[in-house]
Chains A and B, each alone.
Chain A
Amino acid sequence: MRRKGGSAGNENQFVDIWRRFKRNKAAVVGLVVFMFIVLMALSADLFFNYEEDVIKQNAMERFQGPSAEHLLGTDQYGRDMLARIVYGARMSLLISLSVTVLGTIPGLVIGFVAGYFGGKLDSVLMRICDMFMAIPALLMAITIVAALGPSVTNLIIALSISGVPSTARFTRSMVLRLRGEEFIESARAVGTGDLRIMYKHIFPNIVSLTIVNATLSLGSMILASAGLSFIGLGVQPPTPEWGTMLSNARNYFTDHPALLLLPGAAILITVLSVNLFGDGLRDALDPKMK
Chain B
Amino acid sequence: MLKYILRRLLIMLPIILGIIFIVFSILEFTPGDPVSMILGQDATPELIELKREELGLNEPFLKRYVTYVLNVLQGDFGNMYASGNSVGEAIARRLPVTLELSILSILLAVIVGIPLGVLSAVKQYSVIDIFSILFAMILSAMPGFWLGLMLILVFSTKLGWFPSFGVGDGLRSFVLPCITLSASYTAVIVRMTRSCMLEVISQDYVRTARAKGATEGRIIGKHALRNAMMPVLTTVGMYFGALMGGAVIAETVFSLPGLGTLLVSGITAKDTPTVLGCVTVIATSISLINLAVDVAYAYIDPRIKAQYASMGLVKVKAREQR
Contacts and interface: CB of A to CB of B under 8 A. Distances in A.
Contacts of A227: 143-145, 249
Given A131-B22, A139-B279, A267 B15 contact: no
Interface stretch (B42-50, B116-124, B168-176, B239-247): B239-247
A164 to B, nearest CB: 12
Interface in B102-160: 137-138, 140-146, 149-150, 153, 157
Contacts of A139: 241, 244-245, 248, 263, 279, 282-283
Interface in A99-158: 126-128, 130-139, 142-144, 146-149
A137 B245 contact: yes
Contacts of A146: 267-268, 270, 275
A79 B249 CA distance: 27
Interface stretch (A55-63, A65-73, A250-258): A250-258
A264 B286 contact: no
Nearest to B28: A147
A227 to B, nearest CB: 5
A14 B158 CA distance: 52
B192 to A, nearest CB: 12
A265 to B, nearest CB: 9
B26 A143 contact: yes
A239 B290 CA distance: 40
A231 B270 CA distance: 15
B248 A231 contact: yes
Interface in B211-259: 241-242, 244-246, 248-249, 252
A136 B267 CA distance: 16
B23 interface: yes
Contacts of A78: none
A219 interface: yes
B22 A132 contact: yes
B63 interface: no
A74 to B, nearest CB: 19
Interface residues of B, number: 49
B298 interface: no
A290 interface: yes
A268 interface: yes
B143 A149 contact: no
A149 B263 CA distance: 15
B141 A246 contact: no
Contact of B15 (A130, A143, A226, A290): A130
Nearest to B23: A143
A173 B322 CA distance: 6
B320 interface: yes
A74 B15 CA distance: 50
B98 interface: no
B182 interface: no
B97 interface: no
Contact of B279 (A135, A148, A232): A135
A233 to B, nearest CB: 7
Nearest to A26: B137
Most B CB atoms within 10 A — which of A127, A131, A254, A271? A131
A275 interface: yes
Interface string B156-198: 0100000000000000000000000000000000000001000
A128 B15 CA distance: 9
A219 B144 contact: no
B264 interface: yes
Given A134-B287, A139-B248, A149-B32, A254 B146 contact: no
Nearest to B145: A230
A142 B252 CA distance: 13
B89 to A, nearest CB: 22
Given A132-B22, A136-B241, A260-B149, 12 more contacts: A130-B15, A130-B18, A131-B21, A133-B241, A135-B282, A137-B241, A137-B242, A219-B141, A230-B143, A233-B267, A260-B150, A264-B143
7 contacts: A127-B18, A134-B283, A135-B23, A139-B279, A142-B264, A147-B27, A264-B142
Interface of B: 14-16, 18-19, 21-23, 26-27, 30-32, 137-138, 140-146, 149-150, 153, 157, 195, 241-242, 244-246, 248-249, 252, 263-264, 267-268, 270, 275, 279, 282-283, 286-287, 320-322
The 4 closest A-B pairs by CB, nearest first: A138-B245, A131-B18, A146-B267, A136-B245
